[in-house]
Amino acid sequence: MITAGETEGSDKAAALGHAVVADLTKEDGEWPFFGGRYINPETIVSVDLLPEDSQS
């Protein structure tokens, strides 16, 4: 799991999730470096929005 950030409210969390996925799936041929690792955009299977108390 990679934590992309924190925000207040579900609308802002959803917007952040969309922005992160858009950044990770740019079609420039390079794997993005995110959360301390390179990510193959084809391996993203889900984006989870977690309430603050459930993050580890």
Instruction: Say if 20 falls within a structural domain.
Output: yes
> What does each C-alpha distance from 22 to 17, 27, 52 come to in angstroms?
9, 10, 23
Q: Is 7 within 8 Å of 13 (Cβ atoms)?
A: yes
Count of H-run helices and E-run strands, the chain: 1, 2
Q: What is the pLDDT of residues 2-48, one digit of tens each?
A: 777 888 888 998 898 888 888 878 777 788 887 788 888 888 888 88
Cα gap 30→42, rounded to integer Å: 12
Instruction: Say if 19 falls within a structural domain.
Output: yes
Instruction: Say if 2 falls within a structural domain.
Output: no
pLDDT at residue 54, rounded to an integer: 60
pLDDT at residue 26, rounded to an integer: 79
pTM over 0.85: no
Q: Is 52 within 8 Å of 13 (Cβ atoms)?
A: no
Instruction: Say if 55 falls within a structural domain.
Output: no
Report the SS3 class of residue 9.
coil
Asked if pLDDT for residue 56 goes beyond 70, the answer is no
pLDDT at residue 15, rounded to an integer: 92
Looking at the 3D structure of the chain, how many domains does it have?
1
Q: Which domain holds residue 39?
A: 10-50
